[in-house]
Chains A and B, each alone.
Chain A
C-alpha cells in the first residue's frame, strides 16, 4: 500500500505494543487488579454487618469498581506515551485515529480482564441471590470496557503531560461515563429480573458508537495538541 500500512494494521500493532508492555511491566494485573480486589473486600467492612443487605450492594459495587479501576487501567503510567514517543509515531505518519483505536482496544482487553476477575470475587463476598447468565453478562462487561476505555483514552490524551493529569482525567471521565454505567448496569439488572435487555443494551451500543466516532474525528486535532 502506498500510504504505508492500513488503519487496522496500525491499530492492531499499537494494541499489540500496549499488551506486550503490560505483559512485561505488569501494571494492570500486578497493581491495579489487586487494588480493585481490595476495594471489593473493604466495602462490606464499612457497613453494618447486621443491618445492611450486602447482596443488594453487589452490582453497584461491581460497576463502581469497574468504572474507577477501568479508568486506572486506561490511564496507567506504562501505557502513556511520552512526548518523544508521540512525536516519533506522528513522524512515522501513523494515522492518529488508528492510534486511538489501538490504545483503546488494548485498554478494553485489560479492563475486561480486570472485571472478569472481579466478578467472582463480588459473588463470593456479597452473595447475591441471582447470578445473571454468563454469556450476556460478559457482553455487557465488554461493551462497558470498550466504551470506558475509549473515553478514558480520550481524557488521557487531552490531559497528557499536564501535572494534574492523574486527578484531572478521572474528573473528565466520571460524569461522561454515566450512559455507559446505566447501559451496562441496567442490562445486567434486566437479565437478573428477567426483563428485556433490548433498551439498555441499545443505550450501551449507541454510547460506545458515539464515543468511537468522537474519538476518530478528534484524533487529528488531539495529535496536533499533544506533539
Chain B
C-alpha cells in the first residue's frame, strides 16, 4: 500500500442549491507536491478546504494521513495540516512578532522561535510593527512564517504566491521542498499555471466542479 497522505473518493460539495464540486477523486502520495489550477469559480479553494478538513463534503469520502477523519481526532489531525490562504488572518492590533508568538504559545510545540522565523522570512527589522501597518506582502510572509514555525506534514497553499516578490516566492518553493523531503506533501492552488510549473510534479485541472 502506498502511503497516501490524502485520498478523496467521489467528493461532492454543494453550497445551498449550487453544486461546487462533483465526483472528485484525488490522491496525494507522501513526498508529493501537486498543483491545482482552473478558472475563477471552478471550486479550487473549496477543494482545498475539503482537504484541510475544515469543510465536510456533501458527498464522498475524505481520508487524510491514511484514514478517515474522526471527530475526536480532529485537533491532532489538524495540527499536522498547515494552510496559507487568500487572507493571512493576522490580528491587526498586534505586532508581527506578537502574531507569531501567539502561535508559539497556543501550540506549545514549535520548531523555531518567533524571532528566528522573522529572520527567515526577512522581517526581523519589522518585528515590532503592528500587522495593520504591514503591507500585504509582509502579512503574507508572516502567514508563511507560521508554516515554517509549526512544520506541518501537509501544506495547503491557496494563491499563496499572490502579492509576493520573487525572493519571497522562494520561501514558498523552499517550504514545499522541505515538507516533501520530510515525507509530507503539498497542494498548491493557483489560477496561474506558470506559478505551479516552477516546482510541482503534477498539475490537476479543476473545471466546473470536476477534475481532469
Contact = CB atoms under 8 A, between A and B. Distances in A.
The answer to whether A and B come from one shared complex is yes
Interface of A: 1, 3-5, 9-10, 13-14, 17, 20-21, 24-25, 78, 82-85, 87-95, 220, 224, 227
Given A4-B79, A17-B102, A220-B71, A85 B91 contact: yes
Given A4-B109, A13-B105, A84-B87, A91 B54 contact: yes
A227 B54 contact: yes
Contacts of A21: 91, 93-94
B89 A92 contact: no
Given A4-B108, A13-B105, A13-B106, A91 B98 contact: no
Given A84-B87, A85-B91, A87-B83, A92 B150 contact: yes
Nearest to A20: B94
Contacts of B98: 20
- Chain A interface secondary structure, helix, strand, loop or mixed? helix
Given A4-B108, A9-B105, A84-B87, A91 B93 contact: no
Given A5-B105, A9-B108, A13-B105, A90 B93 contact: no
Nearest to B84: A88
Contact of A24 (B74, B94, B107, B109): B94
Contacts of B105: 5, 9, 13
B75 interface: yes
A23 to B, nearest CB: 8
A5 B107 contact: yes
Contacts of B79: 4, 91-93
Contacts of A24: 93-94, 130
B183 interface: no
A10 B76 CA distance: 15
B95 to A, nearest CB: 9
A160 B104 CA distance: 26
Contacts of B87: 82-84
Contacts of B91: 17, 21, 85
B85 A20 contact: no
Question: Which size bracket describes the interface of B in this complex?
Answer: 20 to 34
Contacts of A95: 75
Contacts of A1: 108
A93 B89 contact: no
B180 interface: no
- Please provide the 3 A-B residue pairs with the shortest distance between their CB atoms, ordered closest to farther: A84-B89, A5-B108, A93-B79
A3 B75 contact: yes
Contacts of B86: 84
B78 interface: yes
B20 to A, nearest CB: 17
A157 to B, nearest CB: 16
Contacts of B102: 13, 17
B141 interface: no
30 contacts: A3-B75, A4-B75, A4-B79, A5-B107, A5-B108, A5-B109, A9-B108, A13-B106, A14-B106, A17-B91, A17-B94, A17-B102, A20-B93, A20-B98, A21-B91, A24-B93, A25-B93, A84-B88, A87-B89, A88-B83, A88-B89, A91-B54, A91-B79, A92-B79, A92-B103, A92-B107, A92-B150, A93-B75, A93-B76, A94-B75
Nearest to B55: A227
B82 interface: yes
A227 B78 CA distance: 13
Contact of A91 (B81, B90, B108, B109): B81
Interface string B61-83: 00000000001001110110111
Most A CB contacts (10 A, CB to CB) among B54, B75, B83, B87 go to: B75
Nearest to A220: B71
